[in-house]
Amino acid sequence: MSDELDLSPAEGFVSDDVRAELPGLRLDWITVTARRRDSPRAVKRRLNDLASRFRGANAVALRTQPVPHAYRAFFRQIGLDPDVDRIPSEEAVVGRLLYGGFRSEDLITDALLIGLIETGVPVWAIDAERVEVGGLGIRTSVAGERLGDSERGVPIAAERLVVADAARVHALLFGDVAPGHEVTARSGRIVLFSVGVAGVPAIHIEEALWVCAETLSAQ
């Protein structure tokens, strides 16, 4: 795992039409060795430490910070109301307030949450065996496409923003990962991908991946 942490994240493709309409949209990805398992004590302690940073006043102030503000502006740009469809960092902080802390679920979920809270940049994980050589990027869906493999994939409306490779759609942008593409206890290698928008520095996008990869290496 330590060797893989030295790798620089790769920048995924953004189709020309999407880039023209949404300048600044970016996807970075990296492959690491990990599987779904219980989080070690060090990761659970880290979640508790992060939870102590976010109480009522901090949560209210979150949306005024540059990175959350950029995601809120992007959501409006693509037709979402961020006060209804919350950006990932606000959704996580609201969950912290409701449950009184950041609850540990498993190592993969916890690592994604830690990367999000530390940087404000959302990260997703998929089983690397599902990803074609060449990696991931962002494009719009076409009529008849499905989320995931065609046999059990969920139909997608045309012109949706999706995360895909050359063969299949892996996730809706800022949405769910395709059924059967999730990381499991049997996974050996996983792909982490982060999505940045205009106003979010590239270093923040890369840092979110590094934080997740480092967390996944915890013993």
Q: Which two tokens stand for residue 2?
A: 């330590």
- Strands 123-127 and 189-196, by their bridges, are antiparallel
Contact at 8 Å (CB) between 37 and 216?
Answer: no
Cα distance between residue 201 and residue 37, in whole Å: 32
Q: How far is CA 96 from the centre of its chain?
A: 18
59 pLDDT exceeds 70?
A: no
Cα distance between residue 165 and residue 29, in whole Å: 12
Q: How far is CA 151 from the centre of its chain?
A: 25
Whole-number percent of the chain with pLDDT over 70: 93
Sheet of 123-127: strand order equals 10-11, 26-33, 189-196, 123-127
Cα distance between residue 77 and residue 102, in whole Å: 30
Q: Among 66-80, 148-162, 169-183, whose mean pLDDT is lowest?
A: 148-162
Which pLDDT tens digit goes with each residue over 114-142?
999 999 999 999 999 999 988 999 999 99
CATH code of the region 2-216: 3.50.40.10
Determine which helix (DSSP H) or strand (DSSP E) holds 172, and give its type and residue range: strand 169-172
**Mean pLDDT computed over 139-151:** 87
Residue 25 or residue 55, greater confidence: 25
Residue 98 or residue 175, greater confidence: 175
* Confidence (pTM): 0.92
74 pLDDT exceeds 90?
A: yes
Average pLDDT score, the chain: 91
- How many other C-beta atoms are found inside a 10 Å radius of the C-beta of residue 35? 17
Cα distance between residue 1 and residue 118, in whole Å: 21
Contact at 8 Å (CB) between 1 and 216?
Answer: yes
Instruction: Please state the domain extents for the chain.
Output: 2-216
Per-residue model confidence (pLDDT) at position 7: 64
DSSP bridge partners of 108 = none
Per-residue model confidence (pLDDT) at position 57: 64
**Mean pLDDT computed over 45-65:** 80
Per-residue model confidence (pLDDT) at position 6: 47
CA atoms within a 13 Å half-sphere pointing along the CA-CB vector of 100:
0
- How many other C-beta atoms are found inside a 10 Å radius of the C-beta of residue 100? 8
Contact at 8 Å (CB) between 74 and 85?
Answer: no
Q: How confident is the model at residue 148 (pLDDT cuts 50, 70, 90)?
A: confident
1 pLDDT exceeds 70?
A: no
